[in-house]
């Protein structure tokens, strides 16, 4: 099931105060970026953060779910109203994630 734009906008309203947050629609779902890194996803109208050790420390009771069939487990964010906690989790998750891999551009001959 694809996520609704309304739910994505609700998530965005609760996390945009962090600054440098963007999202992009992909295959009916959304990738959430912080400073250019994918830190979370909105899938099936659920917001998940990439699983990191700091994320599990800050959110020890949150469920881990695959955001889509075959996906790696992510941390489910159920309380979108705790903006201070969301800010901390997103910033610290960003710090723990590796830099994005550079894509090789194909050269036309």
Q: Residue 98 pLDDT more than 70?
A: yes
On the question of pLDDT at 105 being above 80, the answer is no
Q: What is the mean pLDDT of residues 91-101?
A: 91
Mean of all residue pLDDT scores within the chain: 92
Per CATH, is 5-96 categorized as 3.30.1460.30? yes
Long-range own/partner contacts, residues 41-45 (CB < 8 A, 24 or more apart): 41/67, 41/74, 42/3, 42/7, 42/8, 42/11, 43/3, 43/67, 43/68, 43/71, 44/1, 44/3, 44/68, 45/1, 45/3, 45/4, 45/7
Q: What's the average model confidence in pLDDT over 28-54?
A: 96
């Amino acid at each position: 099931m694809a996520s609704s734009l309304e739910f994505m906008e609700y998530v965005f309203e609760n996390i945009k105060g962090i600054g440098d947050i963007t999202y992009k629609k992909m295959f009916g779902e959304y990738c959430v970026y912080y400073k250019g890194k994918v830190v979370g996803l909105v899938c099936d109208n659920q917001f998940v953060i990439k699983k990191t050790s700091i994320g599990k420390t800050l959110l020890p009771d949150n469920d881990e779910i695959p955001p889509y069939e075959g996906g790696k487990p992510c941390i489910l964010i159920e309380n979108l109203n705790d903006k201070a906690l969301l800010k901390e989790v997103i910033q610290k998750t960003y710090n723990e994630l590796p830099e994005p891999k550079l894509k090789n551009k194909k050269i036309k001959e």
